[in-house]
Amino acid sequence: MAILKRYFRLQRFIFAGLGIDIKARPENMVKRPVLMMTPLVMSILLCIANGHYVLDNASDYLEATDSLTLLCQSLISVWKVIMVIWKRKDFARIIARIENLNVRASGEELKIVRTENTKDVIFSTTYFVLVLLTGAWSLLVPIYFAVYIYMTTGVVDLPVPHKATYFWNHEHVKGYSLVYIWDMFIIYFIACSAVSTESMFSWLVCNIIAQFRILMHRLEVASKLPLQTNYVAANHHVDDDDDNPDLCEIDANGTMMEAIINCIKFHRRTLRLTQELNSLYGAIIFVKFIVSGTQICCLAFHLVRGNNSLFNVAYLLMFLSAAALQLILYCYNGQRLKDESLLICTSIYSTFEWSKLPKSTQKMLLVPMMRAQQFSELRGVFFTVDLSLYLWVFRTAGSLIAALKTLEEKEE
């Protein structure tokens, strides 16, 4: 039975656009090396061209900040793809583990998995459409201006899609065509790398959160099982191989203590999934948030200057929305992960009738309660990713915008 009609479809489709089969074995994951390496190398070269342009126009902050937006996004995209290829074994392992858990879900647990994956599909599809529109619009804007100028003045003016130091003459059609093709490859690479890694992150977080919610459901089921007072807890160990899903199943005909032990195993396995998620995305998130503040500042600064055409305003708005959506994906899901992990402690305390439990059972329940009090968190190496971090990024960007506006007023 299919978990969801569009389950994991977008992730596989976008990764395939980079020549990567994300569900293959690590040694076979890069299916089309040329499709992956060509735009990657061209993006690295564009980063160099953008960086040279920024340094060459350092005294003109308007030109420099205009080029910084694409430079920031290119750096983030290159870093993401490199990290995915470098950690492809870990990606393959955690994807296979989560899928193994999902296909075994049934009844109420299957509903939970479907609910979380529906959220992932909605968010990932929305983000994909926004990135696609932003990339397409960035390539259409220079064509529109070239046609408009030619129709109104008769002058052939070929504005480049993105400002950079192109090391050949692009004022004629042939040179401009090379620039435009280069930028098409870059936009393709940036769009695929952004949507693939972000949608993969969304899928992983939603399914880990589903495991926390399943655990709360299983605790509720366990609380309704018979105690069996002659149960010997010493004969059962919590430190079994909890990679095996069968070890964490709850037997409807079993006892409460057996179910609690299985819940403890399930909880520990879910916490380990969170740790693996941090090891996969920690470095990606760190670079993303360090660079995004500058990127959002440059986009917002050019948006509020007030001398843009309608086409430029639309492009800046879409680009800014895509960048903000990237950040909210990480921060919102990081907040959800923290909140859901903390709810385990509350669920244990409120689900069981403690006054009727024997001391052995109470002691057993204290284990997951103590673990749940130290919430699971998403980390960008040195900082916790939650909604407060999202506000910090925009406050920092606002401070930089104020500094640029002050500089602009002084020059006037």
Crossing angle of helices 359-373/256-304, nearest 10°?
A: 10
8 A C-beta contact, residue 204 and residue 277: yes
CA distance 296 to 320: 6
CB within 8 Å of 170: residues ≥ 6 apart: 158, 160, 176, 178, 179
The predicted model scores a pTM of 0.88
Per-residue pLDDT of the chain (412 residues; tens, 9 = 90+): 467 788 888 999 999 998 998 888 888 888 888 888 888 898 888 888 888 888 888 777 777 777 888 888 888 999 999 999 999 999 999 999 999 988 888 888 899 999 999 999 999 999 999 999 988 888 888 888 888 787 888 777 778 888 888 888 877 888 888 888 888 889 999 999 999 999 999 999 999 999 999 999 988 888 887 776 444 444 444 554 455 555 455 555 567 788 888 888 888 899 899 999 999 998 999 988 888 888 888 888 777 776 667 877 888 888 888 888 888 889 999 999 988 888 888 888 888 888 888 888 888 888 777 877 766 788 887 888 888 888 888 887 777 777 776 766 666 5
Residue 282 in tokens: 């920690």
Residue 309 in tokens: 């055409």
